[in-house]
Amino acid sequence: MKSVYFDNAATTQLRPEIIEKMTQVMHQNYGNASSTHSFGRATKALIEQARKAVAKYFNVTASEIIFTAGGTEADNLALTSAVRDLSVKRIITSKIEHHAVFNTVLQLKKQYGISVDYVNLDGTGQIDHLHLKQLLQSSNGKTLVSLMHVNNEVGNILDLKRVGQLCEDHQALFHSDTVQSVGHYIIDLQDIPLDFMAVSAHKFHGPKGVGFAFVRKKSGLKPLIFGGEQERGLRAGTESVHNIIGMAEALKLSYFNLDEEKFYIQNLKEYFIERLKTEIEGVKFNGTSSDFEKSAYTVLNVCLPFSPEKESILLFQLDLKGIACSKGSACQSGSPKGSHVLSQILNNEDLEKPSLRFSFSKYNTKDEIDYVIEVLKEFI
């Protein structure tokens, strides 16, 4: 049986170079970075070198990069501290955000009594910029806008600079979950007025369990996890040095190979779209996922013309054939609820049909796409 992995939006395969680098660090640099002896100093130096390396890709200072255990922690750090410590009384977000943002905002509303407004979406899930402007103009208290850069289910791309400028014009803070875009798109934070950003290494061929938050200097953000003075006092706990070094190396390789890999992956996605159109009559593409200007080149969300009865067994059948893809976000697998993203943009008829997310990386091939097409045709 073939083994085909098309679930790279959930997590990516580690590059061999990263495994080698991390193994070397675990063997040689096991000192605690908070220790003052030579073992600790050597480890601390590695961490700070990694911080500087990460910062340069976003045109920010090293002090604005806070290492975390992943994107969810980075999102929670920014959102919770903004409400708890920065006097934010209102959050503007959307109903298709990742649950790391969506559920955190609901919890903050419950815990702190903040007001929450959801920006309107069009039929493809793109935000209504005019409505966002109107929401910002109607604000009476300090406001934070939280909108993701690339949607993890349908791949819609947000115009970060345009939204950031709107926020700046109305004295609102701007937070973005960039988990699906970092490593795949250039983000210049001197050009984009963004206050907080969340990143996770395992989305760009780095290790799981590590990420970082970008925190604009002098923002006044306070820690979410208390203890020691690690990470400029914003994130207590002994640093996971091998993960941090692995993440920095993965980011370096992602951006070094960006043009070549983007071209390759984009061609794969285009090939998949054409094969689906040719071989499966009635196929649709959710959101803007078939639009290369408005959607990430790494994600394709497909609505298949199968009966609702077949939806429950489709993923199971694909798995039996060795094909890994996703019904929605990996974070909601096992949930009886459908996709909260698709529920906002599909009509009732299409919601009854099976939708699958295929997400690509440099390790995928056209032969794998051909195999998936044949399996889907067989399923029909």
Count of alpha carbons within 13 angstroms of residue 297, beta-carbon side: 20
Q: Are 150 and 296 in contact (CB under 8 A)?
A: yes
With a CB cutoff of 8 Å and minimum separation 6, the contacts of 126 are 156, 288, 294
Distance CA 289, CA 8 (A): 15
**Quick one: angle between helices 38-56 and 241-256, nearest 10?**
30
> Does the annotation count 331 as an active-site position?
yes
- Other C-beta atoms lying within 10 Å of the C-beta of residue 163: 24
- Sheet order of strands, 299-303 included: 284-285, 299-303, 355-359
Distance CA 333, CA 315 (A): 11
Nearest Cα to Cα of residue 68 among 78, 58, 53: 78
| Catalytic residue, candidates 167, 303, 325, 331 | 331
Q: Are 204 and 361 in contact (CB under 8 A)?
A: no
Structure tokens given for 74: 């980075």
| Start-end of H helices in the chain | 16-28, 38-56, 71-85, 99-112, 129-137, 160-169, 241-256, 258-279, 308-320, 342-345, 348-351, 366-379
Burial of 98 (0-12, 13-18, 19+ CB in 10 A): buried
Query: Catalytic amino acids?
Result: 331
